[in-house]
Amino acid sequence: MPSHALQTRAETIRRFNRFYTRRIGVLHEHLLNSEFSLTEVRILYELAHRSGLTASDLCRELGLNAGYLSRVITGFEKKGLIVKTRSAADARIMQLELTVKGRKTFSPLNEASRHEVMAMLKQLSEPGQEQLVDAMEQIQQLLGGASPNYLLRDPRPGDMGWVVHRHGALYAQEYGWNADFEALVAEIVAKYIREHDPTGERCWIAEKDGKVAGSAFVVRHDSETAKLRLLYVEAAARGLGIGHRLVDECLRFARLAGYKKMMLWTNSVLVDARRIYERAGFRLVEEEPHHSFGKDLVGQIWARDL
């Protein structure tokens, strides 16, 4: 027989579970007044934030019945929200990817969910919010659910300014580039914000431990060519594969958006970035010496077919 203390603790946890599910509204038939159930939105969330997932991965990690998941996936395909692609490593494996329409469908759901949680947090004082988050992180750690090292997400208000700031600071520190480079980054970011076309352009923000750790942009060069811009990873977050993952996401998005080719401009001194590009299948197609950002540099254009 279980001890009285163990039974009491179990009932305390069950009581908390009932309270919390009511508090966050997960017992609603559909999430956020949308056409999707909580489970369907969770599937969209996983596909939006992770690449290369298979149906088996989703079944295992979300605890879903294979038959149920198959019906959901079929429904998503009919609505044009996802596509199946063959794994580059094993052609027998079908991977699931969100389409541009799928990401546009998921984005407002994700934002609405975030605002609901923020509204709940605003009812607490700053110390209360920190205490709540710390308690949740402790629960996750105790139950063995360590959070991933990083995640990729869409930009939020304030992120674009941070991208400009960090590019300017990092390249000054690591390569001695002057404020001309920060001005160039600011111009690229401002143009992206003003003219952003979600059907053919996208930005990813890498986040680690709740802080911005990197970025990458896909912008339109012409009707058949996408351009990869502003790839960077914070020094403290290097070695985790963030740069490779950002480039992979850029390539995947560009293919789904219908581009035939991707290109990028970099400089020969950026050795680590060039290794990432080469590993992703890019090839050097042109280079030219120039004096920019207070330094004598060799500019390079890299490209690859999609």
Whether pLDDT at 84 is above 60: yes
Q: How many residues does the chain have?
A: 306
Whether pLDDT at 22 is above 90: no
* Residue 31 pLDDT grade (very low, low, confident, very high; cuts 50, 70, 90): low
For residue 183, the number of C-alpha atoms closer than 13 Å in the C-beta half-sphere is 7
Per-residue pLDDT tens digits for 252-300? 899 988 999 999 999 999 998 999 999 889 999 999 999 999 999 999 9
Per-residue pLDDT tens digits for 109-157? 888 778 778 888 888 888 788 788 778 777 776 776 555 578 888 899 9
Q: How far apart are CA 259 and CA 250, in angstroms?
A: 11
CATH 1.10.10.10 fits 4-142, yes or no: yes
Predicted pLDDT at 144:
65
Query: Which CATH code for domain 151-305?
Result: 3.40.630.30
DSSP string across 95-117: EEEE-HHHHHHHHHHHHHHHHHH
Angle between helices 242-256 and 271-279 (to 10 degrees): 50
Whether pLDDT at 192 is above 70: yes
Q: Where in the chain is the domain with CATH 1.10.10.10?
A: 4-142
From the list 210, 205, 204, the residue with the least C-alpha distance to 148 is 210
With beta carbons less than 8 A apart as the criterion, state whether 225 and 201 touch. no
Q: How far apart are CA 73 and CA 94, in angstroms?
A: 12
Q: Where in the chain is the domain with CATH 3.40.630.30?
A: 151-305
With beta carbons less than 8 A apart as the criterion, state whether 186 and 243 touch. no
